[in-house]
Each structure stands twice: as C-alpha cells, then as structure tokens.
Amino acid sequence: MTRFVALLFALFACCALVSAAPRRPDPDAGWFTPSEIAPSTVYQLRSMLNRWSGRARAEAQNDRPDFCREYECPEFEEHNKTGYSLRTYEKASWVSTEVQDVKDMKSAQHIAFRRLFKYIQGYNLDQESIKMTVPVTFNVTFKDVHGVMIKDDRVRFIGSFYLPGKYQENEDIPVPRDRLVYTHEHPKFTAAVKSFGGHADEESVHKIARELKAALDKDGVEYCPSNAILAVYNEPWVTSGRHNEIWIPVKEESDDSGALFEVAAH
C-alpha cells in the first residue's frame, strides 16, 4: 500500500511539472528567443516552490500588492483618481541601463533586459546573485509631446530593475562589470499610473500613455509630456493574467519627479 501511495505521489508530481512548465512565448511578444527561455526541470521546480512560498509570504505581508506576487517590489502610497491613480514612491536603489541607437521599443526592451538580468545572475565584481524583483521598468522618451514616439536614434530607452530590500538598507551594492549597467539611488517621486493587461507592445504603450495624459490634462495635473515609463510585472512566457502599468511623472512640490529615471553619471 505504501508503495502504491508513493507511486501515485510521483505520478502527481510529474503531472504538476508538465502543467506548470512555462509556455514558449511568441518571439514577437517577449524579451527572449524560444531557445533562451526553455527552462530546465530544476528551474521549473524552483519556480513552483517560489510561487507556493511566495503566496504564503504575500498572505503574511498584507501591504504587498497582489500584482507583485511572490516578488519584492517598491513600496508606495496610492490615491485613486478617475481612470488612474497617483502613487508616491520613496527614494530607493535601482540598477539601470540605457539603450542607444535602437529604433523600436521591442529591440530596446530585449537588449536592456538581457544586460540587467546578466547583472543579477552574477555578472558583477562580487559575482553575487541577486533576487529578481518587479516591476521591470522601461523609460521611453517621446519626441512628440502628444505621446507619439518618433522612430529615430535620438529616442531614449532606459531599462531598470528595483534592487531587493537588503540593498535598500545600506548594504554594499555589487558593482556591475558591464560599463553600460549602473546602480543609483532614485529620489522620492510621484507618478500617475494606469494599468492594463496583455503583452505590452509599442501600440498598447502609446495608447495607454495617450489616455493617461488626456486624463491628467482634464484634471489639470502638471506632468512631463515627453516621458513615460512602462512597468512590467510578469515573465515573458506568462500568457494570461498579465499586469502592466504606464507611469507618467507628475510634478509635486515635495519630491523630485522631474528627474525620474534620468541617466546617472557613470
């Protein structure tokens, strides 16, 4: 009987692994090619354990938003408005990279994510692995103040990862080996935020940014018209229940939102 129960348990575990395996995304929708995201069995097991333990941690930490799931994310205060919300984030440490001479957002996302992911995987002077956090942000500079991005090499893309809590508590932050990657502290800032689902392609980013700017114009809120930040909270292979946001820096007397995600001296 014991052997029969053990066999049933092993069969259940195998089925769970198969069902939990991430689907390969459409190459046009993510940051990786299919061969780069085919996870190993060990990775699948670790992801499942992280999700299970993450749910328990999330239940214990009621102040963590549901869309952060098991990952650490920056804390904020939020005030809901009609069609959007205003969030204030305290100063925090991030790691960033600027992508230049790329004419489309998809290519810039791919390049920025790979550089940053390589850094947290240990490509730093301390050879230290750093836990993944959310969101992954992409700062897009528009050439048209109405929210239309002109596709030329002067458009700026800055990808950023929020650094885990222990690095927010004055612990030494590993120095990147890649000269195009840099760590920095962001000042306190306020942003108008609008959420949306699906994969965040260039068309959807422009659409949501225009809608958010129209709402801010209606409410008489002062904001930076040539700048928008895409915040992504899901892995590229996740196909349902995705959570994305557009952040637009707004001017508050008590913070430094105008300098949001500017390139630091490095």
**pLDDT tens for each residue of the chain, 266 residues long:** 555 445 445 545 544 444 444 444 443 444 444 444 444 344 344 444 444 444 444 444 457 899 999 999 999 999 999 999 999 999 999 999 999 888 788 899 999 999 999 999 999 999 999 999 999 999 987 665 454 554 444 567 999 999 999 999 867 999 999 999 999 999 999 999 999 999 999 889 989 999 999 999 999 999 988 889 999 999 989 999 999 999 999 987 555 554 554 433 33
Within 10 Å of residue 79's Cβ, how many Cβ atoms? 9
pLDDT, position 129:
97
pLDDT, position 151:
47
pLDDT, position 141:
78
pLDDT, position 13:
52
pLDDT, position 262:
46
| Residue 136: partners with Cβ closer than 8 Å, 6 or more residues away | 113, 116, 159, 160, 161, 231, 232
The class that CATH gives domain 72-259 is: alpha beta
Backbone angles phi, psi at 85, to 5 degrees: -135, 160
pLDDT, position 156:
77
Angstrom distance (rounded) from CA 250 to CA 194? 13
Question: Is the alpha carbon torsion for 260, 68, 62, 56 positive or negative?
Answer: negative
